[in-house]
Every structure is written in C-alpha cells, then in structure tokens.
Amino acid sequence: MALSIFSWFSQTETSKQKFHNTETQYETHFGVFWEIIKSYVTTKRAAPVPPSTLPIKPLTFEEIRAVRDNSAVKLGHSSVLMKVNEQVILLDPVFSERVSPVQWAGPKRFHQPPIKLADIEQVDVVVISHDHYDHLDKGAIKQLKEKVGQFVVPLRVGDYLREWGVAEEKITELEWWQKTQVNGVEYIATPTQHFSGRGLMDRDLTLWASWVIRTSDINVYFSGDSGYFSGFAEIGEKYGPFDLTFVETGAYNKLWSEIHMLPEESMQAHIDLKGKVMMPIHNATFDLALHDWDEPLERVTQLSKSNQVTLATPIFGEFFDLANPQANHRWWREL
C-alpha cells in the first residue's frame, strides 16, 4: 500500500528519526558481519578486476549539446547522463577515483569516466538515489554545484548538499511517491529496499529512493540500489510500462541480498516494472563484492535469453536512444 514514508519513521535514542523499508529491516548484527568477513577472507576469485583496459568512448560536452533528444550515455557504475526535453540530466554522478570517505583507500576505479568532470559545462538537473559513497560523490557535487540548475534528491539528502555549499533554492527533496517537475520533465521518487549512511552514527537518517523520469514521449526507471521486493510490481502498475529500466545488477551476494539484488532478482524486477528494455547498472567500475568483475553482465545476459527480455549493454561513453537502445553488445568478452 502506497503510504507516506513518515508512516515508517522510528525514534532512536538520540531522538533522531530513522527511515525504514516497507518489507524488511536490514540489520548488520555481529553474526552477519562475521559471515561477511569470513567470506571476504575465504572466497577465491578468478577475475576480481578486468584483465585489460576497458573499452571507453571519450566524450565531449559539445557532443552532449549536439546529441538528439531522448539520448543517454553510461558514465560508469550507476552514473548516467541523459538528454531529455533538451535538458542535461545526471543520475548519481560519481567521478572520484575511489568510493570511500578518503581518496587514499577504498574501492578504486577500473576505468576513468568518458568525460572529465571539469569538461561538463552545464547540467539542468542532478538526481541522487541515496547517500552511499558510490552514488553520492562529495567531490563531484562540490565541483558541479555552480553548473547545476536543480538537484532532485530523497528526503534529508539535501542536508549534505547544503553542507557542501549548494544553494537552498537549487535543492528539491522528495519522499516516496512524491513528484516534481523541472523544465517539462517529471521526477517521481519511488520506493526501494535498501538503507543509508556515510559513517558509523548516521544509519538510515536519510531516505533512499528509485526514480521515475518521464515526459510526454519517454518513460524511464532508475533503480538506485535495492533488494528485491513487491514495490517493483507496484511501481510497474502505477507508472509502467517503461521504455527503459536502469536496474541494479552488481555488487551482490546472498549474505546481503535483502538490500542488493542477485541477477535473477534484477531480471524479475525489470519484468515486474513492465520494462521494454533493461540496462544493467551498478557494475564494471568498482569492486564492491565477491563476484568476478564481469559476472553480473554475463549472468544477466543469460537470463535475458531465458526470459526473452531485450537487454542493452553499451560501452561507457557510447550514446544510445532511450526508446530504442542497441541490443546486447558483449564487450566484456572481448578483453
């Protein structure tokens, strides 16, 4: 049932309100933490990182200006740039070398973004799914803030933006099922099953969300991060069918499948959403789990065949049509 997110608030000992998922409460208690540590120590992987340089198509801002409407390009991990209604839209822009509180340690990039952050001249809207380091990049926000017209984010994520110098009038914060319109493009915050926090003491103090982004002629879904839950079917019923779904497919493990989908669940989420074409994101840029770097792409490719789902896997930096993206290109097999 689509209730206000405030229905799932709870009080902490410090009187700060926390957000909850609708179907599960993800807890990293000692037993789970110990199992994760053991898995990291004992799991042997054939290819945790790519064996050679990934194929990247360099991108200029002149090309972004010139590309036709309803086009998009994957920049890495879950970062996507879209050109919709003559607007430049960035989803979860992450440009830092590492997704970590510090840049001298933590998961490091497999590849550089197709375009340098300094070369992005103007952005109409930045959309953020949640506050984790691989989705909310402080360095990128601080460099982009003067070039961006509006930031559209889940509740309380705006607090980070204000702290980093983003002007109040540029920030729109939404709870689940709320919507806003910017320059003729509608943005709808929809539920996910995840959690938030950037440190030891801020667990679940900001909201996490997926996004429906639509105009009169295009309808796109962006998953952010999520475990599999009934919310995908609800979103599909309410806002589908979608021309394209960007669905998290990577950084998964059975130990944390409540908040990161296995590939089979990612495929089912796309089907629940009534998507026409699925584009797997959240892979091939950082080593954030225990699977080989190319396993998410390989597994979802096989699943697309058995489920008769059209899959699109462009290389980073390659423009594609949101309504009719190029069919599956198995570029990872060419390395």
First to last CA, the chain: 46
| Residue 270 clears pLDDT 90, i.e. is over it | yes
pLDDT at position 292 is: 98
Instruction: Give the confidence band of 29 by pLDDT, cuts at 50, 70, 90.
Output: low
Average pLDDT across the chain, whole number: 93
Cut 0.95: pTM above it: no
pLDDT at position 10 is: 38
**Could you tell me the CA-to-CA distances from 213 to 131, 182, 243, 288 in Å, in that order?**
20, 11, 11, 27
pLDDT at position 200 is: 85
| Residue 117 clears pLDDT 60, i.e. is over it | yes
| Residue 334 clears pLDDT 70, i.e. is over it | yes
pLDDT at position 62 is: 98
pLDDT at position 25 is: 79
The residue that leads in pLDDT, 178 or 44, is 178
Return the beta strands (E) in 38-111 as ranges: 71-76, 79-84, 87-91
pLDDT at position 301 is: 97
**Could you tell me the CA-to-CA distances from 75 to 58, 115, 161, 175 in Å, in that order?**
10, 8, 22, 27
Q: Are 109 and 130 in contact (CB under 8 A)?
A: no
Q: Are 239 and 188 in contact (CB under 8 A)?
A: yes
| Residue 31 clears pLDDT 70, i.e. is over it | no
**CATH 3.60.15.10 describes domain 43-327:** yes
| Residue 267 clears pLDDT 50, i.e. is over it | yes
pLDDT at position 327 is: 77
| Residue 316 clears pLDDT 80, i.e. is over it | yes
Instruction: Give the confidence band of 4 by pLDDT, cuts at 50, 70, 90.
Output: very low
Domain ranges of the chain: 43-327
3-state SS assignment for residue 72: strand
**In the structure encoding, which two tokens stand for residue 264, read together?**
């089979």
Instruction: Give the confidence band of 275 by pLDDT, cuts at 50, 70, 90.
Output: very high
Mean pLDDT calculated for residue range 14-42: 77
Closest CA to 224 of 157, 159, 165: 157
| Residue 11 clears pLDDT 50, i.e. is over it | no
Question: How far apart (Å, rounded) are the C-alpha atoms in residues 91 and 128?
Answer: 6
pLDDT single digits (tens) 51-84: 999 999 999 999 999 999 999 999 999 999 999 9
